[in-house]
Amino acid sequence: MKGVRIIEAKDDPTLLTRETGSVRNNVLLTLHPQDVERVRLGYVCIKCLEPQAESFPEKCSLCNFPIRAEQSDYFRRFYEGETRVGPSTNMNEELDRLDDWHERRLHVPGAQILIPRSLKIEGKKVKATGRLHTFGGS
């Protein structure tokens, strides 16, 4: 049986109180879409993420969670939908960042000043016509 692919794990500010009275931090997990489907279909325990040999067994083979009786309800209550994972920049910002990185790799030290294409002065973008701009000096 194939394990679950966790894409991201983040602390959740809410606290969980267990039946024993112990308090624990909650964790928000982002799973691979195929694994979310496996959880929804009962092939993976929603509590411990242990893969199961069959869909909706009576109990989890690892933690004894009552999968058949409670998993569907847990999934409806706690599944938060799809989450975007990746950079927080838009395409233009990412292209500017890559362009700046490329220019820095080509930079030859000397009497040159490298002006990134994404440079903004007073909120207006500076237009650069070439890769490197030389300003006097030796």
Give me the residue spans of the domains in the chain. Answer: 6-78, 91-134
User: Do residues 67 and 52 touch, judged by C-beta distance below 8 A?
Assistant: yes
For the record, the structure tokens of 54 come out as 């069959």
Residue 127 neighbours by CB distance under 10 Å: 7
**Three-state SS for 30?**
strand
pLDDT of residue 61: 95
- pTM listed for this prediction: 0.57
- pLDDT tens track of the chain, all 138 residues? 789 998 888 887 776 666 677 776 778 888 999 999 999 999 999 999 999 999 999 999 999 999 999 999 999 988 888 877 767 778 888 888 888 888 778 766 665 666 666 666 666 655 554 444 444 444
Classify residue 52 as exposed, middle or buried by CB count within 10 Å of its CB (0-12, 13-18, 19+). Answer: buried
Asked if 95 contacts 104 with a C-beta cutoff of 8 angstroms, the reply is no
Query: DSSP E strands: which ranges in 2-127?
Result: 6-17, 23-31, 112-113, 120-121, 124-125
